[in-house]
Amino acid sequence: MFALAAIALFAAMFLVGIRLFSGPTLYDRVMALNSFGTHTVLFIGVLGFLNDRPDFLDIALLYALINFVGTIAILKFFRYRAIGDVPRATDEMEG
Amino acid sequence: METFVLVLSWILIVSGSVFAIIGAVGTLRFPDFWSRLHAASITDSAGVILLLAGMALHAGLGLITVKLAIILVFLFITGPTSTHAVANAAFVSGLKPRQRPTPPPETEPTEQPDDKAGLL
């Protein structure tokens, strides 16, 4: 049964990956990347149960953390063109 | 009783996989960014709940269930937050929903001659 869930999640990741590479806008790609990460978290969990090693859940939790921070970082970078402190000029340009 | 819990966990896992596939197909096939965002949140809500609940039922009480609950709570906080961030960034950048091309209004041809007649 976990094999079926793993295959289904892999197929879903493939479909989202197509959208990730063919998205017309940047936001389509960011949304697809976030969705791909959520699928990956579930896939890692299912894979752990499939191998009778549920310790994989730690990796899934870590992946969820990295996925969220990465999404926010990508959005912040493409809005302000900086990940750390926002430069003053860009802030004024945004108005 | 054990068989009942096992069958229930199978049902939850299979329906969670179905919802994950529905969300992915919607993400691929919908025509617009905003509708795609709508489809992607199916996986974030229904897929995550059902799959993690099925895994928790399969594992039984213990440390694994606690880890699954932590993942569930974390995904519940971060999923809507990142969806909101993406939607807000797209809205600020000026991305508009795709709209049906507006049909030419029917009253305009009859009004225009009147206007011209009034001007003349």
Instruction: Sketch the domain layout of chain B as residue ranges.
Output: 2-96
Which chain A residues have a beta carbon less than 8 Å from that of B59?
A: 49, 54
> pLDDT tens across B64-112, in order?
899 999 999 999 999 899 999 999 988 888 878 777 777 766 665 555 5
> Do B17 and A8 make contact, defined as CB atoms within 8 angstroms?
yes
Torsion of CA B50, A39, B56, A50, to 10 degrees: 120
How many structural domains are present in chain A?
1
User: CA of A40 to nearest chain B CA: how many angstroms apart?
Assistant: 11
Name the pTM for this structure.
Answer: 0.82
C-alpha closest to that of A5 among A49, A37, A67: A49
Tokens of A48: 């752990």
User: Which of B13, B15, B17 to mutate to probe the A interface, most A CBs <10 Å?
Assistant: B17
Is the residue at A95 inside a domain? no
Q: What is d(CA B17, CA B43) in angstroms, rounded to the nearest whole number?
A: 9
C-alpha closest to that of B59 among A7, A52, A64: A52
Chain A contact for B73 (CB, 8 A cutoff)? no
Is the residue at A55 inside a domain? yes
Helices within A1-95 (DSSP H only): 2-22, 26-50, 56-80, 88-94
ipTM score for this prediction: 0.81
> pLDDT tens across B6-42, in order?
899 999 999 999 999 999 999 999 888 888 988 988 8
Contact A53, A60 (CB under 8 A): no
Is the residue at A94 inside a domain? no
